[in-house]
Amino acid sequence: MPADGTVSIALISAGAALAGVLLSQIAQLLQWCLQTNHQRRVLLREKYEELALSLAREMSWIADVDGSGLLSTQATSAAPAPHPRYPRHARHAVTLSYIYFPLLIDLCEAYMNACTAYLVMVIESQPGSSSSALANAYKHNRESFASHSDNLKAAHEELEEAITLYAPLYAKA
């Protein structure tokens, strides 16, 4: 009979040790899951901020199109004319939306397309003069200029509103 008591004590001790190891592993797994989820939320917040900053940076693009000589059609003998600057921050926003923010894909694409259409309109309005690119675009085709400007502004505002709307979903950490 004493052997049965010893075996029972040994089984209870072994069971308690295994239960302790199992609980420890479950706690570590839970901690890892929580940490991974937090890291994912932090990454999404950072990328969401990057998307919003890309949109803000793109607003200076209009000034660059107009005032920096990037649309110059005259080349010096030493160098060819520079290429027009495409809306790279809008393109970056589209890329971010494809990777991280599927609810914003259509709006980001619409904004990039509006930027591109605006740039094409300004380039097509260049008669080769040295005055402002936007002034030339306005002077040569006021209806087209107004239409493209309105489309760009509307696309920008719609994307800004969506970024604000989806911030609680994507930017919590």
What is the spatial distance between Cα 104 and Cα 93, in angstroms, rounded to a whole number? 9
Helix axes 142-170, 2-67, angle to 10 degrees: 160
Tokens 């209806």, located at residue: 143
Average pLDDT for the chain: 81
Written as six digits, the tokens of 20 are 């302790």
Choose among 117, 17, 124: nearest CA to 25.
17
What letter represents residue 68's amino acid?
Answer: S
pTM of the model: 0.70
Tokens 């259509």, located at residue: 106
Going from N- to C-terminal start, the domains of the chain cover 45-70+82-170
Contact 110, 158 (CB under 8 A): yes
Give the model confidence (pLDDT) of 30-59 as tens digits.
Answer: 999 999 999 999 999 999 999 999 988 887
Q: Please, where are the H alpha helices in the chain?
A: 2-67, 88-99, 105-124, 133-140, 142-170
Print pLDDT tens along the chain (173 aa): 456 778 888 888 889 999 989 999 999 999 999 999 999 999 999 999 999 999 888 877 776 766 544 444 444 444 444 445 678 889 999 999 999 999 999 999 999 999 989 888 877 776 655 556 667 677 777 788 888 889 999 999 999 999 999 999 988 75
Helix axes 133-140, 142-170, angle to 10 degrees: 120
Residue 119 exposed, middle or buried by CB count within 10 Å (0-12, 13-18, 19+): buried
Give pLDDT, residue 83: 46
